[in-house]
Structure 1
């Protein structure tokens, strides 16, 4: 601890560049181990100085500081320390604005000339992973002066960063924040058309991180049943975007083909399914949520969703995804008379049956 405190004087913004660089290399090395991270987290003054150095005039210093924060923020216990950083420091910028970690990360992300913007995205992704801190992070984003609209814009604008940063980790940030109803209200705002801009990334081949983040975001948005009808309408048309990654190269007869949404008709013989089983499971869970209300179940059946799921079930090897597929198929093949309720989530299931079904699911996944 004493050696760590000795680094404080060299991590100040006005320290000599060579001394800052050497001190940061030591810090970065420490963050690569669990014991080292714990040591740094126990020293809030070090954390504050690292955060401040992310906006250092030397890009190499700022980059190493941001990389250190990526490692530190991967430890959930660091998040409250990071959120509290700079509280006891003179941390105003040259314009007299109060600085804190979320605002500093956002400023890096929206700067198209900073090549380490991906590290800043990863810091936000790590900090929003624990649900308990999502509210604080979202509040600070809203107070930062950098709007959610701006973040969506830079995420969707391919090549926005001129130094090669891809900003893919904004996908998991959106997914983590969409656990909050406030974030979902923004994403599902019918005047903003945010969700429509995110839909194409369910098929983004170049990044599993971006793809998974957006599928997770869509899945979370499907928890709001009041928006299901709108999501399935032509205005959004979410169903083909959820089904397309689950579809393979199988050929269907003309009758089945004609019932499918246009985007799923006559797929090429080299069509590949989503390779990640967790993403496949999230896609299936999203469609299952959209089946909550009878009117929407009817529409999903009419789109011949079953034939895509039938072929997926033949192909699927992952237990979790297979179970998600079977749960969805079970809803779609039952008649509405068999279901007996307009809204599935209103069906009261005895607690002993819930426990029995959960145990059966666990046993199935383990088998």
Structure 2
């Protein structure tokens, strides 16, 4: 005999709008605590919820809340991610400048990004809304929504911050990384450069998603010259500014530092999230895969910034990442001593960090899986 909750689930596709609204409103908390009630009859309740995304705004809001919670369940997530009709519906609403639930849609899309089918976003096309001034490719439109969302110039109800997490998942795929690094014809811009400017944004979600995206794209090691070149992506100031604080540096330390890092105010604060700092340091580590990357970091005095970050941030993950990076920067190059005043980073209590081998990070092997830089 169905329980009262299962009976309530049966009303989410009721013909009466007030009944549907009351049902989904009361079911939102149970989508986290009792997801099984939505998995009956071959996921029929999930099918009904997907239709409610197109319902009246308040009903759609509750349906989206439920689907976001249910996407923690792998079976449901797989079902949602393979439904291209749902994807089309979400995208058409996301790009509507008057859509009140755009942020929830972005959050659901970010969850769908965990499944490989999300790569289809790189292939989909749709006429761009006039106000967006984008191309007719969905992926371009998502990037332009994200940029305009930072100051609310497209949709007053949306900042589109959660698209950053979607981008990070797309960047796990080779096709995605290729897109991020390819200048687009419609605006002449490399997509990744649309994200780098947000590494110091006030939104934690935006900063974290952008940091993860940059790191994942940096696994495209044969394109590191684009990352470093000042007339291309010019990534280094965007990685270093979030991790530098208001410490005073000696003249010797500052000589050669990037202009963006000099004469910073004494109250300059580094990012408050250790995971973001760790992601940026690990991206720097990935960029040491090439001789050019290592030499550039030595020349612009990355070491003092990493040294002070290691001292200031009381987080084991951050400190271990800093220690590995310094090991690489101190290493001899073809018999040449390049330590240049750099010293091994130490702390009172730490887990032993494996010594670095020759070559870049991509060539290193570790007996401890935790020492590997992973896509996020």
Question: Is TM (by shorter chain) over 0.5?
Answer: yes
**Paired position in structure 2 for 1:62:** 60
- Following superposition, the deviation at residue 112 of structure 1 comes to 1.9
Give the one of 248, 251, 270 matched to 2:248: 251
Which residue among 162, 171, 174 is the counterpart of 1:169?
A: 162
Give the C-alpha shift of residue 177 in structure 1: 1.5
SS of residue paired to 2:319: helix
Distance 1:159 1:228 in 2: 33
**What is the CA-CA distance between 1:137 and the residue it aligns to?**
1.8
1:160–1:67 CA distance, 2 compared to 1 (3 A): farther
Residue 70 of structure 2 is matched in structure 1 by: 72
Is 1:180 equivalent to 2:197 in the alignment?
no
Of 329, 332, 337, 2:329 maps to 332
Q: How does 1:277-296 map to 2 (within 5 A)?
A: 277-296=274-293
Shift in Å, 1:280: 0.8
Matched, 1:265 2:257: no
Q: Which residue of 1 aligns with 2:131?
A: none
Displacement of 1:59 in angstroms is: 1.1
Is the 2:306–2:322 Cα contact (8 Å) retained in structure 1? yes
Pick aligned residue for 1:345 from 362, 366, 375: 362
Equivalences for 1:233-248 in 2 at 5 Å? 233-234=229-230, 235-248=232-245
Unaligned runs of 5+ in 1: 86-98, 363-367
- CA offset at residue 322 of structure 1? 0.4
Task: Verify the 8 A CA contact 1:11 1:50 in the aligned structure 2.
Answer: yes
Aligned-residue offset at 1:138: 2.1
- Say whether the 8 Å CA contact 1:114–1:163 is kept in structure 2: no
Residue 74 of structure 1, CA deviation: 2.6
2:194 matched residue in structure 1: 197
Q: Matches of 1:141 and 1:39 in 2, distance apart?
A: 34
The change in CA–CA distance for 1:275 and 1:143 in structure 2 (over 3 A counts) is: same
Distance 2:138 2:259 in 1: 35
Match of 1:210 among 189, 206, 210: 206
Query: Which of residues 34, 37, 42 is equivalent to 2:35?
Result: 37
Distance in 2 (alpha carbons) for counterparts of 1:194 and 1:172: 15
Report whether the alignment pairs 1:222 with 2:218: yes
Residue 128 of structure 1 pairs with residue 123 of structure 2: no
> 2:120 — aligned with what?
139
SS in 1 for 2:161: coil
CA distance in 2, matches of 1:344, 1:51: 44
Distance (Å, rounded) in 2 between the aligned partners of 1:303 and 1:251: 16
**In structure 1, C-alpha distance between the alignment counterparts of 2:12 and 2:363, rounded to whole Å:** 58
Match of 2:309 among 305, 309, 312: 312
Cα drift, residue 247 of structure 1: 0.4
Runs of at least 5 residues in structure 2 that lack an aligned partner in the other structure = 127-136, 336-355
Q: Quick one: which of 281, 293, 299 aligns to 2:296?
A: 299
1:337 Cα deviation from its structure 2 partner:
2.9
Cα distance, 1:342 vs structure 2: 5.6
Q: After the TM superposition, which parts of structure 1 deviate over 4 Å for at least 4 consecutive aligned residues?
A: 3-9, 338-344
Distance 1:344 1:37 in 2: 42
Judge conservation of contact 1:232–1:238 (CA < 8 Å) in 2.
Answer: yes
Q: Secondary structure at the match of 2:172?
A: coil
How far, CA to CA, are the matches of 1:150 and 1:140 in structure 2?
Answer: 10
Aligned to 1:150: 141
Is 2:89 the counterpart of 1:104? Answer: yes
**1:198-220 per-position Cα deviation (integer Å, ceiling 9, x unaligned):** 11111102x11110000000001
Question: Would you say how many aligned residue pairs link Structure 1 and Structure 2?
Answer: 333
1:26 Cα deviation from its structure 2 partner: 3.5
CA contact (8 A) 2:103 2:161 kept: yes
Cα deviations by residue, 1:111-134 (Å, 9 ceiling, x for unpaired): 2212211111111112223xxx1x
Superposition deviation, residue 297 in structure 1: 0.8
